[in-house]
Amino acid sequence: MRRMTARPANAHQERVLKLLRDEGPRSRAELSGLIDLSRSKVAVEVDRLMSAGLLVVDGLAASRGGRRSHRIRLSPELRFLGVDIGATSVDVAVTNAELEVLGHLNEPIDVREGPVAVFEQVVVMAGKLKAAGLAESFDGAGVGIPGPVRFAEGVPVAPPIMPGWDGFPVRKALSQVLGCPVMVDNDVNLMALGERHAGVAKRVDDFLCVKIGTGIGCGIVVNGQVHRGASGSAGDIGHIQVDPDGHPCACGNRGCLEAHFSGAALARDALAAVESGHSTGALADRLAASGTLTAADVGAAANVGDAVALDLIRAGGDHVGHVIAGLVSFFNPSLVVLGGRVTGLGHGLLAAIRTQVYRRSLPLATGNLPIVLGDLGPVAGAIGAARLITDHLFSPA
Amino acid sequence: MRRMTARPANAHQERVLKLLRDEGPRSRAELSGLIDLSRSKVAVEVDRLMSAGLLVVDGLAASRGGRRSHRIRLSPELRFLGVDIGATSVDVAVTNAELEVLGHLNEPIDVREGPVAVFEQVVVMAGKLKAAGLAESFDGAGVGIPGPVRFAEGVPVAPPIMPGWDGFPVRKALSQVLGCPVMVDNDVNLMALGERHAGVAKRVDDFLCVKIGTGIGCGIVVNGQVHRGASGSAGDIGHIQVDPDGHPCACGNRGCLEAHFSGAALARDALAAVESGHSTGALADRLAASGTLTAADVGAAANVGDAVALDLIRAGGDHVGHVIAGLVSFFNPSLVVLGGRVTGLGHGLLAAIRTQVYRRSLPLATGNLPIVLGDLGPVAGAIGAARLITDHLFSPA
């Protein structure tokens, strides 16, 4: 396998590469129509990209009446690494240049152990994927982290749940150990990019992607581009106030969304409910069995009809739905995608969120608004990470 | 005077026209540098635009060492009409092609009388501005209305405070009576465009513009473009819930921002305070004198230190600030601009809003965030309207 050593030389080549990445193999004639460039010019640029090792011939296209033409595709030897770091686990995936996942690993981590420990583990995981024969080396890697990122430099900025990460040169450091170009972004932005590339938001240009996990964040896509904001913190909705007299939050304020609904808040409320004797069913059994409760326990208890668990999920959905209702009024998106581990809690959560949004936002903003779960599950962020680095590498230097 | 009969033929001409509109007269050499096009090509496009009557020569540029060159400017004969329709008054302004206001009228209206009555008055006002010698005819007109607009067609959509306007073909109807091209947008979007063209947001690409008047709305600028949303209702923040047990709102929900703070809410609360005997000072005097109270009365009473008036303004600022704090966390803008009649209430309001935002939003999002009053006062919307129509007319057809 070979390393991607060349970048496209001009905007035409960029469009050819991105089109083949997003739409798969095409003939020269199809490319000419799709990027609105003459066939002779397309042929010239395709030849150059083939010489650079970025494109190959991929069999014959379907006949359009005349002689059957060859289809062009991105080199099947290109390999990208998508890394999605969460607060308590990390997903690492290898993709080809069409961003199909060839292999995927998920392992528990504690992001609070700091970047050095986390990246050692990521490199070991990448090594396992290589050892499985999925890649000899990587042409580029995208990395998502659960906090704000100064995007141009690839550096975390004051991430509240990540002591030791503030200002750590993630892009530079990982680029050295992996030996390939690296781009870094917030994990929620990458989930949005992933769902737009291959999931439920395919071809949608303006949408919100709300990730509910250990924390809560929102990816904002405007005109097909991620909106990162003036300091890279756009979408940081976990600290919007939902109750002025509510729970104290780690940020120092009271009643933040995250303090009322997130993986951690749910575990806390479930524990309190059992300890105060409000739950004598499945939740109490799970606490007795394991000595602790997690958001997953609440989900499992809800699945067997535990009333307290169902109530906790509904109350949480009301809080998230209340915030999303405001964002829908403000932003008027075409689509709202829900993702993250906590969305595994099931239909009660989705129903509560939908109820709040459809009741609270103006009819004009919700008339044609789907509110749906993401398609890609745990690999959404890793696919988005691969998309991020290919967006970079498939652009002129 | 002549009518603008030509549109630019290509993207180079578009850039020349918009640059001269935004930056004023320039020499051919300066244009060449600013739009990154060779001098010979600039000269060709400028000649064509002069033949079309869109550009003229405007005296000599400052010497740059050699022979002094002529400056080029937009034809001083071009005239645009900016119309900013509010719930209770309308602003009509005439501008030149650099969007300088040559004359401006403000008259009371009642938007509930419907589009036919309102536009009759607008046409009469435009006639007064013509009679004052400011224009013989108009090359184009921009119109802002206080509700959501289906932008492509220039048609209001289900505007809550404007019975009789839903689906009225504003663009088409006004274009016929004024005899020139017309573009229509939401009034708050036009305030944002105006402040970006000539006001406090000049050269700012990502900002929010919150207008507090009869209602409350927010203009959203992303990458220098107004974000209008999937159905044209983006920025409709007046119905975000600020108190689940709050005042009933005209939209059918409870506790909407507009029901707690807007011109109408302030007048209602002031009247209630006086009638319940809580205000015995300036507010009570004004009620006794006129038999009613308006938001302007609250402002005047606050200016002479009336405690109830000051409290009402502070409480209103808290509510608006609470909503803006959430939007700042979500959108991470570079700037927040406050405008609209109610911002005339003074520094108490601004202080309350700033306090909420700086306290509630994450430090990363507010670290470099100015929250300021708009520069342009009552003509912001009309200038934005002129900007809107020139954006359209200075683009290739």
Using the 3D structure, point to which of A74, A89, A120 is the last residue of a domain. Answer: A74
CB A141 within 8 A of CB A393: no
**pLDDT at residue B59, rounded to an integer:** 74
Name which of A350, A358, A385 is nearest A190 in CA terms: A385
Q: Which of residues 60-79 of A touch B (CB under 8 A)?
A: none
Contact B304/A at CB under 8 A: no
Say if residue A136 is in the same domain as residue A61: no
**pLDDT at residue B162, rounded to an integer:** 83
Contacts of A215 by beta carbon, 8 Å cutoff, 6+ apart: A87, A146, A161, A238, A258, A262
Residue A141 tokens read as: 């890697």
- For A40, the enclosing helix (H) or strand (E) is helix A39-51
In single-letter form, the type of residue at position A244 comes to P
The answer to the question of residue B5 being in a domain is: no
The answer to the question of residue A1 being in a domain is: no
Say if residue B239 is in the same domain as residue B351: yes
CB A48 within 8 A of CB A80: no
Using the 3D structure, point to which of A34, A54, A74 is the last residue of a domain. Answer: A74
pLDDT at A2 over 70: no
The answer to the question of residue B58 being in a domain is: yes
Q: Which of residues 355-374 of B touch A (CB under 8 A)?
A: 359-365, 367-369
Kindly indicate the confidence band of residue A262, based on its pLDDT and cuts at 50, 70 and 90.
Answer: confident
Count how many domains chain A has: 3
Task: Please state which of the ranges A8-12, A186-190, B163-167, B385-389 shows the lowest mean pLDDT.
Answer: B163-167
CB A68 within 8 A of CB A61: yes
Q: How far B237 CA sits from the closest chain A CA (Å)?
A: 5
Say if residue B276 is in the same domain as residue B252: yes
Say if residue B207 is in the same domain as residue B334: yes
- When pLDDT is averaged across residues B128-152 and rounded to a whole number, the result is 95
In single-letter form, the type of residue at position B122 comes to V
Report the C-alpha gap between A162 and B175 in whole angstroms.
Answer: 58
CB B169 within 8 A of CB B150: no
* pLDDT tens-digit readout, B32-81: 999 989 999 999 999 999 999 999 998 766 666 666 678 999 999 999 99
**3-class SS shares of chain A: helix, strand, coil, % to 5:** 45, 20, 35
* pLDDT tens-digit readout, B327-364: 999 999 999 999 998 877 778 899 999 999 999 888 88
CB A371 within 8 A of CB A83: no
Report the C-alpha gap between A330 and A371 in whole angstroms.
Answer: 16
Residue A48 tokens read as: 């150059």
Task: Give me the count of residues in chain B.
Answer: 397
**pLDDT at residue A61, rounded to an integer:** 64
Kindly indicate the confidence band of residue A201, based on its pLDDT and cuts at 50, 70 and 90.
Answer: very high
Q: Which of residues 123-182 of B touch A (CB under 8 A)?
A: 148, 157-158, 160
CB B139 within 8 A of CB A344: no
Give the residue ranges of DSSP H helices in B24-169: 28-35, 39-51, 115-131
A with B: how many residue pairs have Cβ under 8 Å apart?
143
**pLDDT at residue A281, rounded to an integer:** 84
DSSP label at residue B256:
B
Check CB contact under 8 Å for B325 and A237.
no
For A239-356, where are the E strands, in sequence order? 336-339
Say if residue B68 is in the same domain as residue B178: no
The answer to the question of residue A2 being in a domain is: no
In single-letter form, the type of residue at position A10 comes to N
Kindly indicate the confidence band of residue B110, based on its pLDDT and cuts at 50, 70 and 90.
Answer: very high
Say if residue A89 is in the same domain as residue A160: yes
Say if residue B215 is in the same domain as residue B270: yes
The answer to the question of residue A3 being in a domain is: no
Name which of B353, B23, B384 is nearest B219 in CA terms: B384
The answer to the question of residue A361 being in a domain is: yes
Domain that holds residue B368: 203-374
Say if residue B133 is in the same domain as residue B228: no
Q: What is the pTM of this model?
A: 0.92
User: How far is the CA of A154 from the CAs of A216, A314, B235, in angstroms?
Assistant: 21, 37, 31
Residue A14 tokens read as: 């960029």
**pLDDT at residue B1, rounded to an integer:** 47
**pLDDT at residue A380, rounded to an integer:** 97
Q: Which residue of A has its CA nearest to B156?
A: A364
Name which of A87, A189, A85 is nearest A145 in CA terms: A85
Say if residue B121 is in the same domain as residue B267: no
Q: Residue A345: helix, strand or coil by DSSP? A: helix
Check CB contact under 8 Å for B228 and A326.
no
- When pLDDT is averaged across residues B172-193 and rounded to a whole number, the result is 96
Using the 3D structure, point to which of B55, B74, B93 is the last residue of a domain. Answer: B74
Report the C-alpha gap between A153 and B157 in whole angstroms.
Answer: 43
Say if residue A170 is in the same domain as residue A277: no
**pLDDT at residue B256, rounded to an integer:** 93
Contact B259/A at CB under 8 A: no
CATH no. for residue B95? 3.30.420.40
Check CB contact under 8 Å for B359 and A253.
yes
Task: Please state which of the ranges A157-166, A312-321, B121-130, B366-375 shows the lowest mean pLDDT.
Answer: A157-166
Say if residue A188 is in the same domain as residue A309: no
Kindly indicate the confidence band of residue B10, based on its pLDDT and cuts at 50, 70 and 90.
Answer: very high
Cα angle A287, A292, A294 (rounded to 5 degrees) comes to 100
The answer to the question of residue B3 being in a domain is: no
The answer to the question of residue B4 being in a domain is: no
**pLDDT at residue B186, rounded to an integer:** 95
**pLDDT at residue B2, rounded to an integer:** 46
Say if residue B160 is in the same domain as residue B86: yes
Check CB contact under 8 Å for B332 and A229.
yes
